[in-house]
Chains A and B, each alone.
Chain A
Amino acid sequence: MKRFVPLLVLVALLALPYSTLPVPGLFEGTLNSPGTLQMLAICLVFGGLALGYDLLFGRAGLLSFGHALYIAAGAYGTDILVSHAHWPLWAAVAATVPAVAVLAALLGAVALRTTGIAFAMVTLAFAQVGWIVVNRDPGGLTGGEEGLPLDSAGLPAALVGVANTVNLYWVALAFLLLVVVVVHGIDRAPLGRVLTGLRDDERRVSVLGLSAYRLKLGTFVLAGALAALGGAVHALIVGGASPHLASADLTLSLIVMAVLGGAGTRWGAVVGGVVYAYLDQRLTQIGGGLPGPLGQPLFILGTLFVLAVYFAPGGLTGVLKRRGRLA
Chain B
Amino acid sequence: MSTVILLTLTGLGLAALYFLIASGLSLVFGLAGVLNFAHGLFLSIGAYATWWAAPRWGLAVAVPLGIAAGAATGALVEVVLIRPLYKRPTEQVLVTVGLSLAGVALLQSVWGADPRTYPRPAWASEVTTIGSAQVPDDRFLLIGTAVVVLLALLAFLHKTRYGLIIRAGVENRDMVSALGIDVRRAFTLVFTIGGALAGTAGVLGGMYFGSVSPGQGASLLIFAFIVVVIGGLGSVTGSAVAAVVVGLLQQFVNYYGTAGAGDVSVVVLLALVLLLRPSGLARTAATA
Contacts and interface: CB of A to CB of B under 8 A. Distances in A.
B109 A295 contact: yes
A129 B35 contact: no
Interface stretch (B60-68, B92-100, B116-124, B180-188): B92-100
- In the A-B complex, list the 6 residue pairs whose CB atoms are closest, starting with the nearest: A302-B102, A302-B101, A299-B105, A298-B105, A296-B105, A305-B98
Contacts of B275: 110, 113
B94 A255 contact: yes
B107 to A, nearest CB: 9
B225 A302 contact: no
B29 interface: yes
A293 B29 CA distance: 30
Contacts of B93: 63, 120
7 contacts: A117-B233, A122-B274, A125-B229, A133-B264, A249-B218, A256-B98, A309-B94
Interface in A145-167: none
Contacts of B274: 110, 113-114, 118, 122
A139 to B, nearest CB: 11
A120 B260 CA distance: 22
A48 B263 CA distance: 32
A292 B101 CA distance: 16
A301 B101 contact: yes
* Consensus secondary structure, chain A interface: helix
Which has the most chain A C-beta neighbours within 10 Å: B93, B98, B266, B271?
A: B98
Given A128-B222, A306-B98, A296 B278 contact: no
Nearest to A114: B274
A4 interface: no
A259 interface: yes
A117 B100 CA distance: 18
A279 interface: no
B106 A293 contact: yes
A27 interface: no
* Consensus secondary structure, chain B interface: helix
Nearest to B268: A129
B178 interface: no
Which has the most chain B C-beta neighbours within 10 Å: A292, A301, A306?
A: A306
Contact of B263 (A110, A117, A129, A306): A129
B157 interface: no
A132 B226 CA distance: 15
A275 to B, nearest CB: 15
Contact of B101 (A122, A128, A298): A298
A298 B104 contact: yes
A20 interface: no
B18 to A, nearest CB: 14
B35 A298 contact: no
A293 B111 CA distance: 11
Contacts of A303: 98, 102
Given A63-B90, A255-B94, A259-B94, A124 B222 contact: yes
Contacts of A118: 229, 233, 274, 278
B53 interface: no
Interface in A33-56: none
A302 B106 CA distance: 10
Given A113-B275, A302-B105, 18 more contacts: A117-B35, A118-B278, A121-B225, A124-B225, A128-B222, A249-B218, A252-B37, A252-B100, A293-B105, A295-B109, A296-B108, A298-B102, A298-B105, A301-B101, A302-B99, A303-B98, A305-B97, A306-B95
Nearest to B35: A117
Given A110-B275, A302-B98, A117 B105 contact: no
